A and B are shown apart, each in its own frame.
Chain A
Amino acid sequence: MGTRLPHVRVNMPSPDRESMRSTHDAQVAHSRRCFLGKAAGAGLGIAALTTLLNRTAGAENSRMPTFPNLQQRAKRVIYLFQSGGPPQMDLFDFKPYLNKVHGQEVPESVFNGQRLTGMTAGQSSFPVAKSIFNFEQVGGSGAWLNTDLMPHLKGVADELCFVKSMHTEAINHDPAITFFQTGFQLAGRPSVGAWLSYGLGNENDNLPTFVAMTSNRGGQPLYDRLWGAGFLPSSHQGVLFRSGVDPVLYLNNPAGVSRALRRKTLDDIRVLNELRYQEYHDPEIQTRIRQYEMAFRMQSSVPELTDVSDESESTFKLYGEEARQPGTFAYNALLARRLSERGVRFVQLFHRGWDTHGGLAKQLTARCQETDQATAALIIDLKQRGLLEETLLVWGGEFGRTVYCQDRLTADDYGRDHHPRCFTIWMAGGGVRRGFSYGATDDYGYNIIENPVSVHDLHATILHQLGIDHEKLTYKFQGRYYRLTDVHGNVVGELLA
């Protein structure tokens, strides 16, 4: 089997009635179907093609143009999600003024009546906690960086494009992370990667379009929906790559079943399914045959991908020895590069444990030790391989943290609560400006004073770099044309190279 389908970009005819309301649309749609019927051989079904290829956009939507519909600056995304909410003023958003007001109450003029979480709203005191870490201006760009904790990132600082004026609407983890992943605070909408799979499809026949990986147990939980397909067909959902023997669920044959025996059984299934097809003519049967073949191919392509023993020693020097060990951030970062090399559209790493309500010094140090080297390595590695320009890297969490101390403020430790009003993320590669910093916060690092960037703006910008007008990528559900950016979002042009 394994008949390659014609590698052409085709706009899928929609099975939905709304696409056929006019004669003109119907003609177009149907002529495409006739063409496809011919080109794809024995009556491949609509659902079949969509799910098999994930290669084309707009199958379900008449309003959608073919994507990319803008100049494509990046072909894929690697999103390094730092779950829990990293403290911006302890990493990137240097606030020397805090040293002066350390221990003093945050003035009411700074709070300005904004809501606090239920965790600290009952506190009787809100003392400023300065950062106890050392900051330096690094690289040609002179970006401020906590060089105590991020010595490796220091080396690639000139590749980074900081947004210090991110803000979000949610104040608690679940709604906040769901908002970042899906553009909406409540469950039910497709994740960014699913939108890209739907809009752009895949560049690889043997691997999923959208891969998610997690590292660091403990910390705030993660949820299936963060890489889910929401209301999109479930074939667009991210495939979770795990660290055990089955990197993809159920990838391995049962114990005692060799690859040869599996091959033989698949041949037998195919023969019998084809007999059935000859009688029933249902294109779904053909699709099923193809999916079983793809499954078989994944049984070799995935282990080949996840086995990093073919990497050179210099790779492990770059990423760190931890990169040999599945389940670590370093391993996942290395895998992200391997997936990108193979054309996987959207790779998202989730590193847990940034929720530093108390004991910040210790926790933050640990998180940075787990991630700093491999993060810098990924940038260097992609660059060396000529992939950085076409791969958009995004680093960030779901919100920032408060300047005031949660719980006890001591000489060498403090905690910080959730802070949606401002925080820092950075991007690299993928046609964004290098060595650039955008937006600014006040002296307390509490409010944005310049160039706010919303989550919708970030989404619009990411889609833009992938050649997608975020207002055009839509899907009709429950009578409404939905988009990742809802009814909001502006591309932040200043961030683009």
Chain B
Amino acid sequence: MRIYCAICLIVLLGGYSQADERQLEFNRDILPILSDKCYHCHGPDSATREAELRFDVENSAKSDRGGYVVINPGDSERSELVTRINTHDLDLVMPPDNSERSLSAGEKETLTRWIKQGAKWQAHWAFEAPQRPALPQVVEKSWPNNAIDFFILKRLEAVGLHPSRDASSETWLRRVTIDLTGLPPTLAEVDGFLADESADAHGRVVDRLLASPRYGEHMAVAWLDAARYADTDGYQNDGPRTMYRWRDWVIGAYNANMPFDQFTIEQLAGDLLPDATLEQKIATGFNRNHRYNSEAGLIPEEFLLENAVDRVDTTSTVWMGLTIGCGRCHDHKYDPLSQREYYQLISFFDNISESGRAVKFGNSEPWVIAPTAEQHASLQQLDAQLVECMAKQDEIRALCTEEIRGLKQRLFMSARLDTLEDEKPIVSRGLKHHFLLDDLKTEGIEVEAGEPLLVEGFRGKSAQLGGSDVFALGKVGKVQTQQRCSIAFWLKPEDVEQGVILSRQTRRTTRSGLAVEMHDGHLQFSIIERWRSGVGSVETRNRLKPGEWVHTTLTSDGSQSTRGMDIWINGQRAETNTLYNTNSNVGGTAEGSILRLGGGVRGQKFSGQLDELRFYERTLLDDEIESIAEPASLAEIAGTADSNLTAAMNRKLLAWLLEHSDSVSELGVSTDRRSNRGAALQPFPSLVEVSNQILDLRYQRIALLDSFPTSMVMEEWPTAKKTHVRIRGAYDQLADRVSSDVPAAFPAMARDLPANRLGLARWLVSGEHPLTARVAVNRYWQRYFGTGLVKTAEDFGQQGELPSHPQLLDWLAIEFVESGWNIRAIHRLIVLSASYRQSSQLTPELTQRDPENRMLARGPRQRLSARILRDQALFLAGLLTTNIGGPSVSPYQPAKLWSEMSNMTYKQSTGKDLYRRGLYTIWKRTVAPPSLAILDAADRESCAVRPKRTNTPLQALTLLNETSFVEAAKHLAVRVLREGEAAPIEFAFRLATSRRPTQRETDHLIAARDAYLRQFRAKPERAKQLLETGESPVPEDSDVAVLAATTMLCNVLLNLDEVLTKE
């Protein structure tokens, strides 16, 4: 028995019937032993290399080492390797006695025999460019449908196995429909296929499925797993982010059959393409999908490195099937990749404008505003309106010249001219506080320190601060750092070296709040959530001069980033430098902190003057800022001859008149105009109207932009950051500086490629790269057969598995490249093969000889993935909502699951959003959707390219009891009672399996349903309870006992192995 078993295993593994004297092959037989047992000390890693001996380099292993040779081809007697692996001397034996890497007797024998046979070396197969092999000669010539089948059949014939018969038409149809769309076929589709006797019936089905929008959604899931896509940041706080525009880009790309090379280039470097479109920028979100930490105490440099590491590791796994993470700390132990080369790869990916610390809620920089096509259309509509209004405004303004002149004249005549500007300030929309700094008492201002004075200043009085004085303006409402705000004031610094001009901060060490300071002539504006790990701080590039009045406006768009913070000097946006950009959107100043002028809770006090301080809870528009920055007072303007008015003075005058048109009557000058009311042409009121309309539209535009989704992207830093090798991978242990380049083991980048991500992407899909196409087609193969041709889909390196069908893998890789990287064409080819069409029935012989089905003498048979199981149940029940894309949704989930573990509360969706496809279910990385997680969905914490598939009791509980599944059973029951006519049970069975039940199955199911019915008839209240599962009601006229019994029957059907399995 034992001998028999051994023989059949050898047959199985090698695929050769002559076990003993077959020619050993380096890659197949020797390299796995050397790599696993010897490379650790005699491999690529120079740091752990012993005796300067390398088994990854042929010359090293075969060279004369002063009297002896480690591997002496053809002469095992005089090969030190053979001596050392066989010696009983514990000091000499190799691998060392205590190394956990000892060789088995079989391994020793293999190595010895290989040396005897001539010790022929081979390069690692996966690093050599694939060549398209000729189709093998096969005996059973009638079996193959396409090229794939020749390779599969050849191997089967070599070991004396036969392909299985074709699966039934229903089985094939269900298999291919699920494989290409993630959903089972409808009965109409089953009937249509059964009735189609044409020769290309299969091909037409496949074309229909590939054209279905469901195809793109289904394809996207595996890509999302690889790209570690999620709706939260993944660390600690695990706050929300918005990346669905990227997810929808992927779905769209698959549905448009975007070629894989373009798919690659846009995701790795879309931002670097000439005139990159918004969609191409969104595509680069691939490398922003990694986890990102927002912990308050983190050290940004540490996570800048972690982020780049994740990008390199994920990109390498996805496109090259390489697990190169080892290179972070040391040279790779098994593959030809040095630590230096690892950081050369890091250098491609660390040059983006990120802070190193994620914001706690929302997208972290860099990101783009990413409207959908629909949203973009509404923006365009608004812009068209705006253009129209502005043209109208120009037109009317021309008609108003005389009227405005008259109004100005009347203004000049007003008795209140001198105070009018303060009484009725311009740009009053959203003006929350307006300190004129003319009278402490009326303005509620207190002296907190020193002896600050109100002196004659810019206009009326102004605050005079002498370097030790502080005014407290009190609690002027909450300033939220994640909300839009603007602060404006007149400023005359005396000392420009140091001083806190204005602050609103807590006394705690966190310093949370905001501060405006002078520093070495630069004006600094800071929004602080927590010093120094949550700070946005900018300063003017130019220096202010002492003793000069300037108008200063500070604006923030609430985006918690310095790119949303601006400093305006005298109405113009100043050029700024970023000092800190580590903001985090938790805080804002606490309600209790006080607004201070001249000083703060820390820092030197300010010396100089301040006047007319304005606070807005919105971001001012550029021309509004210009208007308030006009130094001439309203009175001065009114008193200036028309011919002497500057454009800015005119703008300010008009701004006042437009905003206070109703006040004109109070000036006692408009009685004559009143009589004109209702006349056809009233130029000035029309100007007011259109101007207000423009302002409304501009604010609507901001609100619209604020409502648009954003999407995190890759965006190069203008100047290249310096990338250093990190000693032992530690972020703060810098060694040599390196520049972007690809590892030497691969073909070099073409000279005309830029040394950036775009060059890297083009290098990957040049068609010359030995891995890109192989790795991609291998993952496609894995989709259909459960296991890739290379089982270790994530590792094509020397520690990875050898391909089960190396020639087929190469043939497919070449085919893929030569087809123009046509993804659909490869899928079409695979699913139309005879190999894919086989029945998945096992026989005792196949169970013995090929339990894992690596030789493919039968069709694939696997439990459906988590999302397919749920989608299938909803689809059969007629509940599935089929719209594509958009924000993620929150279907049923056990109560309090999030709040028990995190600081977030789960808000369940309602209505149709409960029934969207699983790929739209919100994915919180640290508390994953439980029903999907239990059914082995990838955790999205890091790149996953090989699905797990387990079979556990928790899965049984989920499929039996989870609300979505029970609700689906309920609606499936409604459906079969309505549509199933005389034979609802057969109908239900057919829906679930695509085939007709056998008589035995039918009989059993009918008896089962009847038994359930008896129970529910006896306890009708239980039937009612069951039918209340889920939010969707059942028809009011239902017989509840019958419906409940049928629901349980459907619950049984949805739990049958056959229904849970791709057969």
Contacts and interface: CB of A to CB of B under 8 A. Distances in A.
Interface string B234-274: 11111000000000000000000000000000000000000
Contact of B931 (A17, A118, A222, A250): A250
Interface in B1-55: 1-2, 5-6, 8-10, 13, 32-33, 36
Nearest to B106: A22
A281 B8 CA distance: 20
Contacts of B531: 122
A234 B530 CA distance: 39
B951 A250 contact: no
B508 A408 contact: yes
Contacts of A173: 236, 295
Given A20-B9, A279-B841, A407-B508, A117 B899 contact: no
A350 to B, nearest CB: 9
A239 B952 CA distance: 12
B847 A283 contact: yes
B1055 A269 contact: yes
Interface stretch (B187-195, B384-392, B623-631, B791-799): B791-799
A48 B795 CA distance: 26
Contacts of A68: none
Contacts of A147: none
Interface in A436-458: none
Interface string A375-410: 000000000000000000000000000000011100
Interface in A260-309: 260-262, 264-265, 268-269, 271-273, 275-277, 279-285, 287-289, 291-292, 294-295, 298-299
Interface string A400-443: 00000011100000000110000000000000000000000000
A222 B902 contact: yes
Given A223-B238, A250-B962, A479-B795, A255 B1028 contact: yes
B958 A249 contact: yes
Contact of B1015 (A122, A261, A280): A261
A255 B13 contact: no
A225 B6 contact: no
B743 interface: no
Contacts of A171: 297-299
A288 B1057 contact: yes
Given A27-B9, A273-B1057, A298 B957 contact: yes
Nearest to A298: B953
Nearest to B32: A21
B1025 A256 contact: yes
A136 interface: no
Interface stretch (A39-47, A86-94, A311-319, A335-343): A39-47
B104 A418 contact: no
Interface stretch (B403-411, B465-473, B633-641, B922-930): B922-930
B438 interface: no
B844 A281 contact: yes
Interface string A42-66: 0101111001000000000001000
Contacts of B533: 117-119, 122
A28 to B, nearest CB: 9
B334 interface: yes
Interface in A7-23: 15-18, 20-23
Contacts of A258: 1015, 1019, 1022
B981 interface: no
B761 interface: no
Contacts, number: 326
Contact of B936 (A17, A217, A234, A407): A234
B886 to A, nearest CB: 26
A51 B863 CA distance: 15
B508 A281 contact: no
B13 A187 contact: no
Contacts of A23: 6, 10, 106, 109
Contacts of A291: 951-953, 955-956
Nearest to B20: A23
Contact of B792 (A34, A234, A265, A479): A479
A407 B509 contact: yes
A174 interface: yes
A188 B105 contact: no
A268 to B, nearest CB: 4
A186 interface: yes
Interface residues of A, number: 108
Interface stretch (B198-206, B809-817, B869-877, B1004-1012): B1004-1012
Interface in B796-853: 797-802, 840-844, 847, 851-852
A264 B1011 contact: yes
Contacts of A51: 950-952
Contacts of B960: 250, 253, 262, 265, 292, 295
Given A34-B1, A122-B531, A224 B927 contact: yes
B297 A284 contact: no
A269 to B, nearest CB: 5
A114 B1060 CA distance: 55
Contacts of A214: 900-901
Contacts of B100: 63, 471-472
Interface in A109-130: 115, 117-124
In this complex, which of B5, B110, B1026 has the most chain A Cβ atoms within 10 angstroms of its Cβ? B5
Contacts of B802: 17
A214 B925 CA distance: 18
Contacts of B800: 479
B715 interface: no
Contacts of B1027: 256
Contacts of B325: 478
Given A23-B10, A24-B106, A256-B1044, A284 B951 contact: yes
12 contacts: A22-B104, A22-B106, A31-B2, A120-B297, A217-B899, A221-B926, A225-B939, A248-B957, A250-B930, A255-B1025, A295-B953, A479-B334
Given A276-B1056, A408-B508, 20 more contacts: A17-B791, A117-B297, A118-B297, A118-B298, A171-B299, A187-B234, A188-B941, A220-B236, A224-B927, A234-B936, A261-B1015, A264-B1011, A268-B1004, A272-B1056, A281-B841, A282-B840, A288-B956, A295-B960, A479-B797, A480-B323
Report the 3 A-B pairs with minimum CB-CB distance, sorted nearest first: A22-B106, A479-B799, A117-B297
Interface of B: 1-2, 5-6, 8-10, 13, 32-33, 36, 100, 104-107, 109-110, 234-238, 291, 293, 295-300, 306, 323, 325-326, 333-334, 357, 507-510, 530-533, 582, 602, 732, 791-792, 794-795, 797-802, 840-844, 847, 851-852, 861, 863, 894-897, 899-903, 925-928, 930-931, 933-934, 936, 939, 941-942, 948-958, 960-962, 966, 998, 1000-1001, 1004-1005, 1008, 1011-1012, 1015, 1019, 1021-1029, 1044, 1048, 1051-1052, 1055-1058, 1060-1061, 1063
Interface of A: 15-18, 20-27, 29-31, 33-34, 43, 45-48, 51, 63, 115, 117-124, 171-175, 186-188, 214, 217, 220-225, 228, 233-235, 239, 242-244, 246, 248-258, 260-262, 264-265, 268-269, 271-273, 275-277, 279-285, 287-289, 291-292, 294-295, 298-299, 406-408, 417-418, 471-472, 478-480
